[in-house]
Amino acid sequence: MLKDLGLTDSEAVIYIALLEQGSSLVGPIIKKTGLHRATTYQILERLKEKGLVSSIIIEKKQHFAAASPEEFMTLLKEREERLKEILPKLLLKQSLAKEQQHIMIYSGVKGLRTVFDQLLEELGIDGAYYDFGVSGIFKEIMGSYFYIWQKQKKIQKIHSKVIFNKSVRTQNPTLLKEYVGEYRFHTEEFISLTDTFIYNDTVILCIWTAKPPIAIVIKNKDNAQSYLNQFKLMWKNSKK
C-alpha cells in the first residue's frame, strides 16, 4: 500500500521500521531492515525530502523519527496539485502526437485483411473512402474476402468513390457489378499500378504485384489531404 502511495520497497521498509521503533539511531534501523549503511542513509534523506522522516542531533548523534502517517494525505494533495499543473501539457503532447506521421507496413493476405478490417472499423457507419489506381487485383489476391468486404461496406452504408484503371471495363466487367460504390475510369495519363485508398487521416498504398503483396499505411492528416486533393483532380478528369 505504501508503494501505491509513491514509496519504493526500501523506503517503505525503513518508514515502517521507524514507526515501530520510534526515534532511533541509524544502527537499529540497519539491524531491523538488513539494509547497507550507505543505502540506509540515502533512503533516509529521500524520506526527509518527502516530509516522511525528521531528524535531530542528540549528544552529537543523529536520531531519526517517522512523521505521522497522516502526512501521506499532504503528499497526495501535493501530487494532485502537480498533476493538475502538468495535465494540460500532457494532453497537448498527446494531441500533437496524433498529428504526427505513423507508417506501418503489412504483408501477405492476412496482413492486408487486417488493414481493410481496420479501415471499415475506423470508418464506422456512413464513413467514406476514396480509391484510385484500381486494377481489380484486390479480388484476385484476397479471394472470398473481397465479397465479404463489399457486403460489410453495404451494411455500414460506406460511401466510396473509386477510379478503376481503364482496362477493367473490358477485361473484368463482372468486377464493376460486384463492387459497391460509385466509380469512374482513369484516363490514360492517370493509370496507376498502385492501389491508393484515402480515408480520414489515413492513406493506404497497396502494391498488389509485390511478392507477397504489401500495404503501406500512412497516418498523417496533411498527407491524407494532399492525396485527397490529387484524387479530386483525377475524379474530375476521369470518365464514367
Q: Binning pLDDT at 50, 70 and 90, where does residue 97 land? A: low
φ, ψ (nearest 5 deg) of residue 125: -90, 135
Indicate if the pLDDT at residue 194 is higher than 70. Answer: yes
Q: Where are the domains of the chain?
A: 1-83, 101-237
Q: Could you tell me the pTM of the whole model?
A: 0.58
Q: What average pLDDT score do residues 36-41 get? A: 90
Mean pLDDT for 101-106 is 87
pLDDT value, residue 107: 94
Sign of CA dihedral 101, 107, 112, 114: negative
Sign of CA dihedral 79, 84, 85, 87: positive
| pLDDT over threshold 80, residue 201 | yes
Highest mean predicted confidence (pLDDT) among 77-81, 101-105, 140-144: 140-144
Write the DSSP symbol of residue 157.
T
Q: Is the CATH number of domain 1-83 1.10.10.10?
A: yes
Structure confidence at residue 186 as a pLDDT band (50, 70, 90):
confident
Please compute the mean of the pLDDT values over residues 115-121 and round it to a whole number. Answer: 96
Strands 128-134 and 53-58 come out as unpaired
Residue 159 — pLDDT band, cuts 50, 70, 90?
very high
Class of domain 101-237 as given by CATH: alpha beta
**pLDDT greater than 90 at residue 193:** no
pLDDT at 144: 93
What mean pLDDT, rounded, does the chain reach? 88
CA distances from 82 to 5, 71, 79, 89, 94 (A): 15, 17, 5, 12, 18
Q: Is the pLDDT of residue 211 over 70?
A: yes
Q: What is the pLDDT of residue 99?
A: 58
